[in-house]
Amino acid sequence: MSNSVGRIERKLVALVALFYLSLMLLVGAIWGSQASLASGQVVQELYRSLDRLSLLLSTLQDAELGQRGYLLTGDEQYLEPYNRAIGQVDGQLVQLLDSPELEPYAGTLAMITHMSRLKRDEMAQSIAMRRDGANAADGRQWLIGHSGKLYMDEMRSRIALIREGVSAALQEQKRDLERRSAFALWGGGGGSVVMLSLLTLLFFDFRRGLRERSGLLKRLAFESQHDSLTQLPNRRAFNDALDQALALARRGERQVALLYLDLDGFKLVNDQLGHAVGDALLKAVVVRWQTVVREGELLARLGGDEFAVIAAGDAEAVERLAQRLIDALDDALLPMHPQARVGVSIGLALYDEHGDDQRRLVAAADTAMYRAKESGKHCYAWPETRQQALAAV
C-alpha cells in the first residue's frame, strides 16, 4: 500500500514538474520571440538611420554638384538637381531628428542641421552672386576661397561619429541576440532533456503500474478459481468444469464420472497436532493424488477435507481410479509426523445413470460417499441405484 501511495506521489510530482516546466518553456518562447522581434525592429531602424545619414550627405553632395556646375558655366540646367536636392534636405533632417534610435546623438544631429543650413546658405549666396553678373572666374574663386568645403567636411565628420555609434549599437544588438540564442538553446535544450527524463520516468512508472495491475488481475482471477492452500481448483471452478463436461456428455462427445472424496481421520489429526500440521497434511495428500490423476481429469478441493474428481470412462475405469486414490494414502504422508495418517472415502457416480444434471450427479456421488463411510471407510461405493457390490480395501 505504501509503495502504491509513493508511486502516486511521484507521478503527481512529475506531472506538476512537467506542467510548470512546459509553462516556463512556453513563457520563455514567447519572451524570446518578442525580444527577438523587438531586437529585429531596433536593428532595422538602426540600419535605416545609417541609410538616412548616407542619403543626407549624398543629397547635399548632389546640391553642391549642381551649384558648382552653375557657378562655372552659368547654365541653368545645373540648378535642376540643385533645387531638387535642396527640397529634400529638410525632410531628411526631420526624419533623422525624429528617429528614436538616434536620440543619443541629438547634439551631433543639431550640429549637422546647423552645418547643413550654413552650407545651403552658402550655396544660395553663391548662386545669387552668379545671377547678378559674376563670371566663371569669380565662381571658381568663390569655390576655392569660401567655407562651403569646411561645412561639408564638418558634416562628414559628425556623420562618421554617428556611424561609429550606430555600428557599435548594432554590434551590441548582435551580441545580445547571440546571448539570447545561447540562452534559448541551452535553456530549451536543458528543459527538453528534463521533460524527456520526466516523461521517461512516467512511462516506466506507468508501465510498471500496468504490469503490476495486470499481475494483480491475473492473481485475483486465479484466486477466484483456486483454493488458497492447495492451489487446486475451488468449488466455483469445479462447478464450471462439471457444467462443461456434462454439456459435452449430452452431445455424446465423452463420458463423465464424478468421484466425491472425503478424508477419514483428518479431524483427529487436526485436533491433536494442530492446524499447521493439518494444512501440511492436506498439501501432502494433494501431492500424492496429483501423481494419480491423469491428464484430462480434474482434481478440485470443495472445502475443508472434501475433494472431487471429474473423470471420463466406464464404471471399471472409474473404480480403478478410485482405488489408486485410496492406495496413494496408505504410506505416511509427513516424515516429521508419521502418526498423522488419513484415509479417504469415495462416492462414485456416472452420467446419466445416476444423474443427468450437476445437482443430481453431485447428490448421487455425495450419497455414495456416505455409503462408503458406513461400509468401513477408506473405500469407494456407488449409489444404491446401481446394483453392484461395494468395493472395500
pLDDT tens per residue across span 7-61 = 666 666 666 776 766 777 666 656 555 555 556 677 777 778 778 788 888 888 8
pLDDT tens per residue across span 71-87 = 778 788 888 888 888 88
pTM over cut 0.75:
no
Residue ranges per domain, the chain? 2-200, 235-392
Q: Which residues are paired to 299 by β-bridges?
A: 309
Q: H-type helices in 132-147, by residue range?
A: 136-145
Q: Do domains 2-200 and 235-392 have the same CATH topology?
A: no
Strand arrangement, sheet containing 391-392: 298-303, 306-311, 257-264, 343-350, 379-381, 391-392
Total residue length of the chain: 393
Q: Provide the residue-wise pLDDT of the chain in tens; the chain has 393 residues.
A: 556 556 666 666 666 776 766 777 666 656 555 555 556 677 777 778 778 788 888 888 887 787 778 777 878 888 888 888 888 888 888 888 888 878 888 888 888 888 888 878 888 887 887 777 666 565 555 555 566 678 778 888 888 888 888 888 878 878 877 777 777 667 667 767 777 777 777 767 767 777 877 877 788 887 888 999 999 999 999 999 999 999 999 888 788 999 999 999 999 998 999 999 999 999 999 999 999 999 889 999 999 999 999 999 899 999 999 999 999 999 889 989 988 899 999 999 999 899 989 999 999 999 999 999 999 999 999 998 653 434 433
Place of cell 552658402: 122
Q: Which CATH number fits domain 235-392: 2.40.160.60, 3.40.30.10, 3.30.70.270, 3.40.50.300?
A: 3.30.70.270
Q: H-type helices in the chain, by residue range?
A: 2-73, 79-97, 106-131, 136-145, 148-225, 235-250, 266-273, 275-290, 315-327, 358-374
pLDDT tens per residue across span 126-149 = 788 777 766 656 555 555 556 667
Q: Which fold has domain 2-200?
A: Four Helix Bundle (Hemerythrin (Met), subunit A) (1.20.120)
Q: Which residues are paired to 257 by β-bridges?
A: 311, 350
